[in-house]
Amino acid sequence: MQQVRLRAALVGCGAFANAALVPAMRAAGIEIVAVCDPNAERAQATMKSASAGAAYGDMSAMLAAEAVDAVVMAVGPTIYPKLAELAFGHGVHVFVEKPPAITVAEAEAMKRAAARAGKQLVVGFMKRFATGYRMAKEITEASDFGAVRMVSARITTGVWTPAWSKTLTPLSFVLDHSVHFLDLMRFFGGPVEWVSAVKTQASSERFGFAVLLAYQGGAAGLLEISNYESRGVPNERVQITGSDGASVTVENVSRVTYTRDAEPMVPGRAFSPQRERLVWEPNMTNISAENASLVHMGYVGEMRNLAGAIVSGLPVTPSINDAIAALALAHAVVESDGRQINLQNEGEV
């Protein structure tokens, strides 16, 4: 039986689309029917590299001419609300990169537009599909892990310029960079009841936040985000701790350490294969399609998830509700100034 492939059009042929989305869509078996970008040179170059059939300067003209199931957008959150509404008008499903919009109200309007059109609206939180984070999630869901009680993460970077904003502010930084990790904190800890954050700022370019989260399910979360560090070193670490002596740590997205409830050191203590730590990292000595960085970083899984859900007609997870919750968290972090901010309508994760 021939497999049904998702037919998609790419909207926005910039740096990120070319570096990650085009190869990930191809690896996921998505047919890239056409591309569009008002910058004709980029549209032409991407059409060739994506082996697409046509290049356009305008999304509506493209959707009027091409038969596609979905559009995959990598433009920026100031324009996604308008483009998404236009795309729904053409009867296609919509994937937008994170963040879906600047404000929660705009993202909620996008959700309503998707519901009116009866189409899916998917937001690019690829970290949920990264190999190490998926392994960690599976470990935390096993019965011997106990209930998740702590989620502790530090996710920093160097000086950062959001492509769509050009202006670096604490809000544009948190919306562009940290929104991934606010989603990840929810992925591991569940819906958030309240958040509080303290800002530290050294200059107009260098700042960060220490974030405290209270989860609805009773866990507590700690998140450090900043651009004080260097973009040249690994700067991502997440630890999830269960209620019964187990924890799982993911460093550099790829190194997973599963710590079980081992015996303390006593005379004659033996090595226990059931209770010592286990470490997993990718085997970089083996060439295989599944051992590519775009797989380990989650971009390929994200596109497989999109294609699988749309082709089978199932709702996509993470949903637009997750994206709205991450956006609400991002605004709360920037506005908190040490105050506790209660989160409303926290639902799915």
Ligand X SMILES: NC(=O)c1ccc[n+]([C@@H]2O[C@H](COP(=O)([O-])OP(=O)(O)OC[C@H]3O[C@@H](n4cnc5c(N)ncnc54)[C@H](O)[C@@H]3O)[C@@H](O)[C@H]2O)c1
Binding site for ligand X (CB under 6 A): 11-17, 36-39, 42, 59, 74-77, 79, 97-98, 124, 126, 163-164, 176
DSSP 8-state class, residue 14? S
Pick between residue 147 and residue 233 the one whose CB is nearest to ligand X. Answer: 233
Smallest distance from ligand X to CB 333, Å: 17
CA distances to 131, 133, 141, 255, 297 from 258, in Å = 14, 12, 13, 10, 19
When CB distances to ligand X are compared, the closest residue is: 14
Smallest distance from ligand X to CB 14, Å: 2
Smallest distance from ligand X to CB 195, Å: 22
Pick between residue 172 and residue 249 the one whose CB is nearest to ligand X. Answer: 172
Angle at 62 between CA 84 and CA 17, to 5 degrees: 65
Smallest distance from ligand X to CB 307, Å: 17
> Could you tell me where the beta strands, DSSP code E, fall in the chain?
7-11, 31-36, 54-56, 70-73, 93-97, 121-124, 148-156, 192-201, 207-215, 220-226, 236-242, 247-251, 255-259, 278-280, 341-342
Smallest distance from ligand X to CB 16, Å: 3
3-state secondary structure 98-114: CCCCCCHHHHHHHHHHH
57 and 47 in contact (C-beta within 8 Å)?
no
C-alpha–C-alpha distance, residues 228 and 187, integer Å? 25
DSSP 8-state class, residue 313? T
C-alpha–C-alpha distance, residues 208 and 202, integer Å? 9
Pick between residue 139 and residue 184 the one whose CB is nearest to ligand X. Answer: 184
Pick between residue 34 and residue 214 the one whose CB is nearest to ligand X. Answer: 34
Pick between residue 84 and residue 240 the one whose CB is nearest to ligand X. Answer: 84
Smallest distance from ligand X to CB 277, Å: 30
Pick between residue 104 and residue 139 the one whose CB is nearest to ligand X. Answer: 104
Among 135, 223, 187, which residue's Cα sits nearest to residue 326? 187
Pick between residue 175 and residue 214 the one whose CB is nearest to ligand X. Answer: 175
Smallest distance from ligand X to CB 123, Å: 10
Residue 55, SS3?
A: strand
